[in-house]
């Protein structure tokens, strides 16, 4: 961490939320908001320019989601620590975020004082995780889906046909059907759309 105050980057695609976070955290005497972006694919460039100590990242953003942005930051700007702040407190997201290199994960209804404290703790090199989400994540366990089943459901949730999925993923239609069938069975979904919905709700996609 550089200097007396914590240099903070905020990334959220909702301008009102981004502005509110910036205003609230900017009131803290030891936190200095040095950059704000509205897209995940703008995070690395902003961090490279502004040299933040901590990046506060939403998960669902255009261009690149917050988990992918966290992984990109770890490679491009390793000195910047990541705190994920999201509306979507899904257990699967927590594990994926930590695997991507995030140091913290809290939900957006966290009180301002607690959020500021989370920023400070992450800046100090500590881990900060919403306790209810941590408990849910432990209870749920890992995603039951294989990497390829996850890929197939990712494309399927956009509404493409089996042929579309096969073409996008460079697989045969038979292989796609097998992966879809397995994913539907593992999620307990009624069909592929339901399986994709269930997987998304659990943070597996």
Identify any residues that bridge with 158 across adjacent strands, giving them in sequence order.
Answer: none
Residue where a domain stops, chosen among 89, 113, 139: 139
Q: Are residues 120 and 189 in the same domain?
A: no
Round to whole Å and give the CA distance between 69 and 41: 7
Q: Are residues 160 and 180 in the same domain?
A: yes
Residue where a domain stops, chosen among 88, 107, 139: 139
Task: Provide the H-helix boundaries in 87-202.
Answer: 91-99, 112-123, 131-140, 147-156, 162-169, 173-187, 192-201
Q: Could you tell me whether strands 31-37 and 81-86 are parallel, antiparallel, or unpaired per DSSP bridges?
A: unpaired
Q: Taking the mean position of all CA atoms in its chain, how far away is CA 169?
A: 23
Q: Are residues 83 and 123 in the same domain?
A: yes
Give domain status of residue 1, yes or no.
no
pLDDT tens column, 50-75: 999 999 999 999 999 999 999 999 99
CATH code: domain of residue 133: 3.40.50.2300
* Structural domain that includes position 177: 147-201
Q: Examine the pLDDT at 4 and tell me if it is beyond 80.
A: no
CATH code: domain of residue 165: 1.10.10.10
pLDDT tens column, 151-172: 999 899 888 889 999 999 999 9
Q: Are residues 128 and 151 in the same domain?
A: no
Total of domains in the chain: 2
Torsion of CA 184, 190, 194, 200, to 10 degrees: -50
DSSP H or E run through 82? strand 81-86
Q: Are residues 25 and 103 in the same domain?
A: yes
Identify any residues that bridge with 120 across adjacent strands, giving them in sequence order.
Answer: none
Residue where a domain stops, chosen among 105, 123, 139: 139
Q: Are residues 39 and 109 in the same domain?
A: yes
pLDDT tens column, 88-141: 767 678 878 888 999 999 988 888 899 999 999 999 999 998 877 776 665 566
Q: Are residues 38 and 118 in the same domain?
A: yes
Round to whole Å and give the CA distance between 101 and 62: 20
Question: What's the predicted TM-score (pTM) here?
Answer: 0.68
């Amino acid at each position: 961490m550089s200097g007396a105050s914590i240099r903070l980057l905020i990334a959220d695609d909702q301008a009102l939320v981004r502005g509110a976070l910036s205003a609230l955290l900017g009131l803290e005497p030891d936190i200095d908001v040095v950059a704000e972006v509205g897209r995940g694919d703008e995070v690395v460039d902003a961090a490279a320019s502004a040299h933040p100590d901590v990046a506060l990242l939403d998960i669902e953003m255009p261009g690149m989601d917050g988990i992918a942005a966290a992984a990109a930051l770890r490679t491009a700007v390793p000195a910047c620590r990541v705190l994920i702040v999201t509306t979507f407190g899904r257990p699967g997201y927590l594990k994926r975020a930590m695997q991507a290199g995030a140091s913290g994960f809290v939900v957006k209804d966290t009180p301002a004082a607690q959020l500021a404290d989370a920023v400070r703790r992450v800046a100090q090199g500590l881990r900060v995780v919403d306790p209810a989400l941590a408990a849910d994540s432990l209870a749920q366990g890992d995603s039951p889906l294989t990497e390829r089943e996850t890929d197939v459901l990712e494309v399927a949730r956009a509404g493409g046909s089996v042929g579309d999925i096969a073409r996008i993923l460079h697989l045969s239609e038979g292989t796609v059907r097998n992966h879809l069938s397995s994913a539907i069975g593992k999620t307990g979904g009624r069909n592929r759309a339901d399986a994709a919905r269930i997987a998304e709700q659990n943070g597996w996609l």
